[in-house]
Chains A and B, each alone.
Chain A
Amino acid sequence: MSSNQYWNRETSERAQYSQDKQVTQPANIICLTDKNDDANRKLYDGELPEGAKILTVASKFDDFEIKELKEANANVVFVSHPKAREPLAKLLEEIPSIKWVHSRSAGVDFISSETLANSNVYLTNAKGCFSSTLAEYTMMAISYFAKDLPRLLKQKQDKNWEKYPVEEIRGATLGVVGYGDIGRAAAKLSKAYGMKVIALRRNPDNSKDDPICDVVYKNSKESLHQLMSESDYILCAAPLTPETKNMFDAAAFSKAKPNSVFINVGRGPIVDEMALIGALKNGLIKGAALDVFAVEPLPIESELWDMPNLLASPHNMDMTKTFMHEATQFFIDENLPRFLREEPLLNQCDKAAGY
């Protein structure tokens, strides 16, 4: 990607900015974070590029000294606190000098608001930083069902040596809904396995020359249904936006192949969970693997806990020991230097679209 509009850990080159260029504007950073968050240690205590400095670290709006921040010409907000939506909106209203908001995570739904959408700030995130781990999880989830791991584990418990045929991943079809970095990383792995890849995205033209996917659909109800009917494994790697909310509803699941498996690494609310439970109970799909849920933590009363054909994980399948440290490092090493030199920032998000 020569224009390098996003950072992808597997393929992007580090420090691809004009390093000899002069710093032309300061970075006066407000950290809307938990001050005890160890992953941000390098930001709080470490060496920052010349021209950048941390003005304050706080998580509640009341803890910010607005007047002082305005006088210090605060122009950057680094966000990692889960309850940042309101404080951020208020900061944007009160401090017009803010030019840039960077989200440490890939998802920006947690800070979306009308204020943010209407503002003039750059919004950047950590897309591409978590993709490979989630791709690994995707292949594991596919294997879990293809080799019937639940059966294997039960047979072990019973000390039962009973041969049974396993399914091949090779030759099966993976439908990727939301073909961004995570979707593409999963597709890359699945291609190596010999799978056929169908991708669905808002802007199919962006994948016109993509060697990894075999077919690309434009996002619509019909094309989603088409994808459901063609795929043996469906991966939802889409962001949560007004368009994607409840995208996977009863109608979509009714189109699925009966032996298919649904995997969600995007956001929980994209799936109508009642419809999914129905699909699992009635054999509309063979099984599902979910790392994200409409409500997290998943409430004890949820029927999902009891489904035998569901693999549930506590939204931790991208949670490596160092991933948040790396995400913070990305801000320090890649986007901060670019901002200081007024170069285009990586991973810019469309505030209106929400991703």
Chain B
Amino acid sequence: MRTSKSISEVIFDAANVILLCLLSIVTLYPFLYVLFASISTPAEFVQHRGILLWPKGFSLDSYRMVFENPNIIRSYLNTIFYVAVGTTLNILMTALGAYGLSRKNVMWKSTIMMLIVMTMFFDGGLIPKYLLMKNIGLLDTYWALIIPSAMTTWNLIIMRTAFQGVPDALEESARIDGANDWTILFRIIIPLSLPVIAVMVLFYGVWHWNKWFDALIYLRDRNLFPLQLILREILIQNDTNSMMTSVGGGDRMPVGETIKYATIMVATLPILFLYPFLQKYFVKGVMIGAIKE
């Protein structure tokens, strides 16, 4: 391998590394800026112009104020509820579906699978879905964010592919020992598919954590709002208001500024913390899905 590189190759490599470094900086810097701003002293931060390479002073006041905001606390707890209950239901439903649709000698398996996959390309659209929710009485309940999101077809395909990969011999020897389908699913298939289950927990969990549009159309009661909907009010709607009234004025409240950054951090940190632990699994999960495609 130690052959001398040609000059063009050296240039190619250098340009490549520089380009990828730039991309990484562009990806990462917004988060760093938000982090630095959120722990800066509000008054010092407002004075500052341009790129932040370090927090301006140090203060956790913004975080304290975020956690004193009753809207945020309430919606944070709601989101935790949606994530916990929603993801549990997701894993259960997806596992049941993936198991049944990956067994051999099930007559209606392919028909059911086809009908399910077809829904990826067809759907009734926003309004019929809204009317359905209205008709079955799910509007303005906690269930509005959980039941219609009970599973996704894409994740079903991923889990089904993983279940198909479990050797048949294990299932057959369990059957000889008198195991039924429940036992096989929960004692053999799931324990052998833990990496994929971890990926599913990550995908579904993040999905519930980040979801806001369902809440926007299905919920009126503020007590049910998830965090993202409250975030939208704080980050986007307030800002457009203040932009309209004080263009060029620049007289925004100092703490108001840093509170926004602290809110972003509080809403994003759980995901960023979870990310390194699950990262080694999810690439595998995506690949499994890709093979089947």
Task: Indicate, yes or no, whether A interacts with B.
Answer: no
Interface residues of A (CB under 8 A from B): none
Give B residues with C-beta under 8 Å from A: none
